[in-house]
Structure 1
């Protein structure tokens, strides 16, 4: 009699936190999905950055409101931190002025994921959050994401 093989591992991998700026339907959905996949989530509800996210090594930082008053400083701090993933919810078009401002200041924005998430085609908050969490998980395992089939 052979032992049943399971497609998952019961061993918990060590992952950083998911840090999200501002409370909105997408950040709440990110919290639900990321928690379901075993990630600790902290949402900073104040759109001015509040007391700060203080990213540590391995953390994922997601700016869910590119119009937040403190968006530039949050991105500056996240990109200068040891965070493993930094992303912003915005189309490339909407992000242009903010990215230009950061580049003019000498901030390296090459690691910034904008728009955040994988291209799943979703439009609703839950679907967008799913794409972002999928990208965070893929990045944490050094994988590109995408279909597993050949």
Structure 2
């Protein structure tokens, strides 16, 4: 009998946490989707940053509320950390003022993903969350994302 190949691996792969500020429908959807793909998610509900997200090497930080009072502080800390992914939910236009403020302070914002996620065209919280988790997963494997059919056959 021929053994069938499975398209997945049962090998445990270590990934950092996904740290999300603050608690809103997109954050909750990120938690559900990321948990389904085996990622540990911490949602900080306090929009002032609460006790602090304390990003560690390999963690992903997602700011789901660019209007949160502590958004600049959270971004400063995340961008200065060894987090592997730092993102903010906002259009480029809405983020411009905050980014200008950080750049004026000397913060390197080149690693910041804004707007967060892959361009899936989704509008609802779950669809937006799916795009963010997809970007995090792709990045954690050193992949750009995009259709599998576009990968060279080998």
Q: TM-score range by the shorter chain?
A: over 0.9
Give the equivalent residue in structure 2 for 1:20: 20
Match of 1:54 in 2: 54
Q: Say which SS state the counterpart of residue 148 (structure 2) adopts.
A: coil
> Using the alignment, how far apart are the partners of 2:74 and 2:12 within structure 1?
30
Counterpart residue number, 2:141 = 141
Instruction: Please name the residue that 1:65 is paired with.
Output: 65
**1:76 paired residue number:** 76
**Deviation sequence 1:55-76 (CA, Å, 0-9, x none):** 0000000000000000000000
Q: What TM-score does the superposition give when structure 1 sets the normalisation length?
A: 0.99
What is the number of equivalent residue pairs in this alignment?
150
- In 1, Cα distance between equivalents of 2:148 and 2:116: 21
Alpha-carbon RMSD across the aligned residues, in angstroms, is 0.4
Return 5+ residue gaps in structure 2 as ranges: none
Q: For 1:54-99, what per-residue CA distance to the aligned partner results, in whole angstroms no more than 9, with x for missing partners? A: 0000000000000000000000000000000000000000000000
Report 1:29-108 matches (<5 A): 29-108=29-108
Taking structure 2 as the reference length, the TM-score comes to 0.97
Distance 1:12 1:120 in 2: 28
Q: Which ranges in structure 1 are unaligned for 5 or more consecutive residues? A: none
Give secondary structure in 2 for the equivalent of 1:149: helix
Q: Which 4+ runs in 1 deviate beyond 4 A?
A: none
